[in-house]
Structure 1
Amino acid sequence: MSSTGFDGLSTPHPMDRIGVVDLMLGVPPNRDAWFAGYERLLKDDQSRKFGHGAGYMFKDLPRVDGTVDFLAYLLAEMDRWGIDKGLLPVSFGDTWGTRGIAEHPDRLHGSFLVDPNLGMQGVRDLRRAVAELGVVAAACFPTGLHPQVNIGDPAMYPIHAACCELGIPIFINAGVPGPRFPFGPQHVEHLDRVCYDFPELVLVTRHGAEPWENLMVKLMLKWPGLHYSTSAFAPKHYPTAIIDYANTRGIDKVMYAGYFPSGLSLERIMTEMRDVPFRPHVWPKFLRENALRILNLK
């Protein structure tokens, strides 16, 4: 990247020379069939018409170039916007994730979506994903499960324990979800008990933790293993409480995650990012160093 920045602006910015680690890259979303996966949870007719689970919130959804191989397209977008590495969802028999982390181990790393409703089979699946696929993190969407599972439900405890034993972090959606599901399982208060019972666990929240971002800051101050990522939020909407915390005592706790191609383009994210009022010394931690640490990447 030149001293003028990757977006062509003339003023250098602290983020311009940082090889960004994106903690939430995705695979091509099926806009036409997303509803089928969550039909048992949704009751309103309008959601059937959305091309995204939170279609009433996200406008101008990214278009994936279907004329080229998706991995080539993804890596080109990463290069264009200064993304050095990214966390990609991986599952057994998937189309893109497994291939991506196998073919580009220096750029792409895998996360595995866990389902505590599967009981010990879910734990065995996670262990197998680490051993056979090389994934470096677990992920969970509590309100998107059927039936829904509270972040601190006993059904989650075998998963939390396995993450501790495997030495991997778990990324958990927290706060009111975008899709029209009940929010109860993702209330930020549930994190307190999990962090109490699993002091070794590295837990990173996704998708904002709103409207309890102030409570989230209190809990991060309290629990060493609790972290926050900015996934699914355009930078101009980052909560003020989170920015203030990153600029002070939370410099090691807050880290960047995007939402491409699910809901936000890298162009929008990285263009708006320049206006986030992080202090200069925060940028390397936020965009790269914290992610490398929690993922155990050199």
Structure 2
Amino acid sequence: MSYPKDIGIVDCMLGVPEGESRSDWYDTFKPLLKDEQSREAFKMPAQYMFKDIPDTGKTDDFVAWTVDQMDRFNIQKALIGWNENDTSRRAKEKYGDRFFFDLPCNPNNGMEEVRRIKRIHAEVGLSAISVFPAGTNPQVPINHKHMFPLYVCAVELDLPILLNVGIPGPRVPMETQKVEHLDEICWFFPDLKIVMRHGAEPWQDLAVKLMLKWPNLYYSTSAFAPKHYPKAIIDYANTRGADKIIYAGYFPMGLSLDRIFSDMENVPFKDHVWPKFLRENATNLFKLGD
């Protein structure tokens, strides 16, 4: 069955452009990039992996522009990163029914970061926090002690944490994002809800084994065109993992919505998986209501 177009989709990774320049999306870890192409030529740090990165053009209101793009594909709600700037504030004030927010975090900041999470959650009402382990500077592995204050904070606030796993797209070392690191964290924090981001490749089979083992571990399809969803993930969703696999795109960072949803037609999910994948799993995990 092709994906049903009458479902109001929840996209668990979407961005609101800040303007024509994309460099501010990765300024925090740009010092980690050593090769000249990544530092000087790329619009985004994993550009070699993506064809036809969307051109967001020019507009006076990128928030409204983003909502218009969502409407074209029946995306009812989207998870976007909260930045303490005018764009995030306008997204919440003008379209609070369309956006929910995760807070990108830096585990190197210790308790200062915990206090920041709690402050912003009180002000905004966060739905999640997130960490890009290979993109922190210095890099911090998923199971490193610097991550533990963030895990404790997420449990206390009952917020899922989104973690990039697998070989990172940017040309930085991969050690911090090995999927095996999740085993210890799921064991030590049984109340912590963890969502894997960005594929888990080449350890997708291990990701499935860990989801079978740990009830608090989930997987989102961010940064992958549906054509390239790992077979192990599709098979898992169609069997025992229908409640664990969550749709996330990568627009406009690397993929266009046209590309994503033209590919989606050919994903071989079973009928009962589609509503869970496109909407219900995210609604339940992020407590979005009906």
Shift of 1:165: 0.8
For 1:129, which of 97, 111, 120 is the aligned residue? Answer: 120
Q: Which residue is 1:158 aligned to?
A: 149
- 1:162-201 superposed matches below 5 A: 162-201=153-192
Structure 2 counterpart SS, 1:231: coil
One-letter code of the match for 1:212?
A: W
Q: In the alignment, is residue 91 of structure 1 matched against residue 80 of structure 2?
A: no
Q: In the alignment, is residue 109 of structure 1 matched against residue 100 of structure 2?
A: yes
**Percent identity over paired residues:** 52
Could you give the per-residue CA deviations for residues 64-98 of structure 1, whole angstroms, max 9, x where no partner exists? 13124111111111110110100011122x23223
Q: Which residue is 1:208 aligned to?
A: 199
Q: Which residue is 1:276 aligned to?
A: 267
The RMSD of aligned alpha carbons is 1.4
Contact 1:98–1:133 (Cα < 8 Å) also in 2: no
What TM-score does the superposition give when structure 1 sets the normalisation length? 0.93
Contact 1:34–1:53 (Cα < 8 Å) also in 2: no
Q: Distance in 2 between matches of 1:166 and 1:196?
A: 19
Contact 2:59–2:65 (Cα < 8 Å) also in 1: no
Q: Which residue is 1:8 aligned to?
A: none
Q: Distance in 1 between matches of 2:3 and 2:104?
A: 33
Contact 1:35–1:47 (Cα < 8 Å) also in 2: no
One-letter code of the match for 1:102?
A: E
Q: Which residue is 2:56 aligned to?
A: 64
What TM-score does the superposition give when structure 2 sets the normalisation length? 0.95
Structure 1 counterpart SS, 2:171: coil
Contact 2:2–2:267 (Cα < 8 Å) also in 1: no
Q: Which residue is 2:213 aligned to?
A: 222
Q: Distance in 2 between matches of 1:279 and 1:35?
A: 37
Could you give the per-residue CA deviations for residues 100-137 of structure 1, whole angstroms, max 9, x where no partner exists? 12321211011101111000001111111111122211
Shift of 1:43: 1.1
Measured at CA, do residues 213 and 96 of structure 1 come closer, stay the same or move farther in structure 2, by a change above 3 Å? same
Runs of at least 5 residues in structure 1 that lack an aligned partner in the other structure = 1-11
Shift of 1:200: 0.4
Could you give the per-residue CA deviations for residues 147-195 of structure 1, whole angstroms, max 9, x where no partner exists? 0000111111110011111011010000000000000000000000000
Identify the structure with bigger relative contact order (alpha carbons < 8 Å, sequence gap 6+): 2
Measured at CA, do residues 83 and 127 of structure 1 come closer, stay the same or move farther in structure 2, by a change above 3 Å? same
Q: Distance in 2 between matches of 1:110 and 1:98?
A: 11
Q: Distance in 2 between matches of 1:153 and 1:263?
A: 29
For 2:43, which of 48, 51, 67 is the aligned residue? Answer: 51
Runs of at least 5 residues in structure 2 that lack an aligned partner in the other structure = none
Q: Distance in 2 between matches of 1:100 and 1:221?
A: 37
Q: In the alignment, is residue 25 of structure 1 matched against residue 17 of structure 2?
A: no
Shift of 1:13: 4.3
